Structures are given as C-alpha cells and as structure tokens.
Amino acid sequence: MGVTALALLLCAGVVPMAGVPASPIRFELKPIPFRLEHGEVAARHVPATMAGGVAVFDYNKDGRPDIFFTNGADLATLTKDSPKYRNRLFRNEGHGVFTDVTEQAGLAGSGFDNGVAVADYDNDGYPDLFVAGVHHNTLYHNNGDGTFTDVTAKAGFGVGLYDFDNDGWKDLFVTRGDVLSRPVPGTVTNQHNTVLRNPGAVGKWEALTTEAGLDASPPARHRGLAFGDLDGDGRVDVVATALASPAEIWMNRSPSGHWLDIALEGAKSNRDGIGARVKVTTKTGTQYNHMTTSVGYASSSYGSVHFGLGADDRAESVEIRWPSGIVQVLKDVRGDRVVKVKESR
Ligand SMILES: [Ca+2]
Ligand SMILES: [Ca+2]
Ligand SMILES: [Ca+2]
Ligand SMILES: [Ca+2]
C-alpha cells in the first residue's frame, strides 16, 4: 500500500491491521457442521435448486438465538433416506459454540424440505416451527422443554402464519402446487391454495379451500406469497404468484374480531424493528408475535405486527422487546387501529 493510500485510509478513520486488508465492514467465518444436501443429479430437477431455508430463532428462550436449517432429500424418492439429509437444529451455547440438538428436539424431518417459518401459533410463549416441503409440510409444536411435536401434515409450498379471522389465534396460509417440471403420473401438479384455521386452545386444525373461496382462480403451481393489509380494514390480505399463471390477490373478507397492529420504528435497534418481540395481553389472554418481513417462499411482506383480539376491543398491555434489549410497555391500548411505536432511547 502506498503512503498516500494509507494516509487516505487513516483520514477516513480506517486503521488497517497487520496482514489484513482494511475494510469498514468485516466478517469472521465460523464453521458449523451442516451441509445442504440437495441430491442434485445430471438430469436437473427443480427441487434440487430450492432447498436451503434457514431460521434464526430462540427456541429455548435463553436469550441466545439458535439456528435451524432445512435440508434436501434423495431426489428419486424425495425422502431423507440417509442421515446427511436431516434438517438440523443447533443450540447456541454462547461464546460461539453451537450444539447439534436435532435428535433430542425431534426435528430431523422426512422429506425434501425447502422453507421454514417461525411463529408462536398456540400463544404459549414458545416459538413454533413450520417447515415447508416438496410433498408435505410439517407444523412442529415447541413443547418448551427442548422437544418439538409434529402436529400437522399438509402439502404446500410457501407458508405464512397470520390471524386471518382476528380471533386471537394465528392461522396458516399455504400456497400449493407441485415442483416437478415433468410430473410423475398420478401426482397433482396444479393445486388451489389452502388456509388452515387454528382451532384455538382445543380442537383440530381445519383445512379450508373451497369454503374459503380459494377455488375462485384455477388451480396452479403457486410459488411466491406475501402478506399485508391492502385495504386497511385490519384483515390481513394475501398476494400469491404461480408459474405461467396470473398473480392472485386474495382480499380477506372473513368475519372478523377486533384487532391491533403495532407499527415499529427502531432507534437504537434497526429502523424497521426487525426481530422485536411483541406481547399483547387482553382480558382473554396473552399472545406473542415478532416483527419480520421475511414470510413465504422467496418473498417479502409488509410489516406491522398484527394481532387479532377476538371479542376484546382493547389490549390491557403491549410489551415490546427490541433487539437492543430495550423493553417498552404500553398500557390500555385501544384496538382496531395501527399504533405507531418508536423505540425509546
Ligand atoms: Ca437459545
Ligand atoms: Ca408455541
Ligand atoms: Ca384465527
Ligand atoms: Ca384487509
């Protein structure tokens, strides 16, 4: 490096370390024993390019974010017929140590998995996992003791967990359609989307397709999926794309309970407040959600943090835990509106 270049760098406040190229942004590579196995073969298949979802979430609530990887499968059978295809959960022990806890967590999976979504669908305070796979999706309930239970199995592609009827329980929208470019005889390639209604504290998940009006467009190979309240009526609407088919906007016309949207603006944390966890307590109970725009397959959603309040027209309290560690609590918050919250300093 010439004297002039060094002087310029020093003027810019960048001090080069010995033997390391100077840069204002630097990363240190940390190995983790996971390899994305997509079973690629010479005859190219669509699924082989689509594996590889990652979720960073704190499954055991010790304050350290953990890492979950989805993984592929044997392409001929679309099953995980070798241990190398297992999905993997790594527990963050702190100090850069990650332990593979897949087995004890029960998260190895069985098919060719590509996507993953995190949400606390049963409002018990523990984040649950939804894993989207080529031939089946899996909803895993986080039992809070380090283990997960497979609680549902439905086919699909992109997924999003939102409370579509604002009854206080998050439902699941699934875009569907097969990934095979040359379908195997007997497999259905074009499909309608489906919404799965969360039954609440007791009961069974209900799969709604025709009932929910989702057969109003022809079946297709659905892919992209994004969410946002397009008309500001407090009901979360859906936009989906499908291969070689018109895009679909699904305006939410569900009979709706009360609702509350929390629109975050970070100050010390990132400006969108991504990663902030929000806890809403009403007369009926407590719910959790978090700020993210990353929902659905290869898509980005419009974010305020949405809550259905059911019969309650106000929240007794709204607690926001910002990524910075700052905790903000609002009391007696009227519902059926978007409440803007700026991070306190
Ligand atoms: Ca953790
Ligand atoms: Ca949960
Ligand atoms: Ca619901
Ligand atoms: Ca709406």
Residue 18, pLDDT score: 62
How far, in Å, from the CA of 288 to the mean position of ligand 2? Answer: 9
Residue 301 Cα, ligand 4 centroid: separation in angstroms? 14
The Cα–Cα gap between 328 and 345 comes to 10
Longest alpha-carbon distance in the chain: 73
What's the rounded Cα separation, in Å, for the pair 73 and 113?
8
The SS3 of residue 102 is: helix
Cα dist from 313 to 108, 230, 329, whole Å: 42, 22, 18
Positive or negative, the CA dihedral 314, 315, 316, 320 is: negative
Q: Is residue 30 pLDDT above 60, yes or no? A: yes
Identify the residue whose tokens are 């027209």. 313
pLDDT band at 151 (very low <50, low <70, confident <90, very high): confident
- Kindly report, residue by residue over 169-181, the tens digit of the pLDDT: 999 888 766 554 4
Between the CA of 107 and the centroid of ligand 2 the distance, in Å, is 15
Give 98 Cα–ligand 1 centroid separation in angstroms.
10
Predicted pLDDT at 213: 94
Helix, strand, coil percentages (3-state) for the chain, rounded to 5, are 5, 35, 55
pLDDT of 114 reads 78
Ligand 3 centroid vs 43 CA: distance in angstroms?
Answer: 43
H/E stretch holding 41 reads none
Closest to 137 measured CA to CA, from 160, 163, 119, 111: 111
Which residues hold their Cβ within 5 A of ligand 3, which is an ion? Answer: 163, 165, 167, 169, 171
Whole-angstrom Cα Rg for the chain: 22
pLDDT given for residue 42 in this prediction:
64
Q: Give me ligand 3 centre to Cα 61, in Å.
A: 25
Q: Whole-model pTM?
A: 0.67
Q: How far is the CA of 124 from the centre of ligand 2 (A)?
A: 5
> Ligand 3 mean position to 191 CA, how many Å?
23
CA 261 to chain centre: 18
pLDDT > 70: percent of the chain: 80
pLDDT at site 187: 56
